[in-house]
Amino acid sequence: MQKVGKLDTQVNGQSIQPVSSSAQITEMTAVQDHTKRNNTTRKQEVKASVQELASRATSRVKAVAAEKITPPNSAYQFEVSWRG
């Protein structure tokens, strides 16, 4: 049974002490800072992977386009290719 005015409490046989609100705020701030750093790191990783994927796609498109596109031999061929 808990006495009035007693600062510690028993939970499952373990003594717990009250925590000041300033300590709680400090801990919450630390957790928020850690979360922000993790989110920033994750965003940077995603950005890097998206850039790598875009770079590979661009390389593939260039390779395929180089195979399929041939320069025209005459003005007529140029005109026909330009019109689509």
Whether 43 is in a domain gets the answer yes
The label of the residue with tokens 């790598």 reads 52
Say if CB 2 and CB 9 are below 8 A apart: yes
Taking 80 as the threshold, does the pLDDT of residue 7 lie above it?
no
Whether 1 is in a domain gets the answer no
User: Residue 11 has what pLDDT?
Assistant: 67
Whether 41 is in a domain gets the answer yes
Whether 44 is in a domain gets the answer yes
Give 51's pLDDT tier (boundaries 50, 70, 90): very high
Give the contacts of 15 (CB within 8 A, at least 6 positions apart).
8, 9
Q: For residues 21-42, give the mean pLDDT.
A: 79
Domain residues for 77?
21-83
Whether 70 is in a domain gets the answer yes
Number of domains in the chain: 1
DSSP class of residue 9 equals E
**Dist CA 31 CA 39 (whole Å):** 12
Whether 71 is in a domain gets the answer yes
Whether 15 is in a domain gets the answer no
Whether 14 is in a domain gets the answer no
**Dist CA 16 CA 6 (whole Å):** 11
User: Residue 25 has what pLDDT?
Assistant: 76
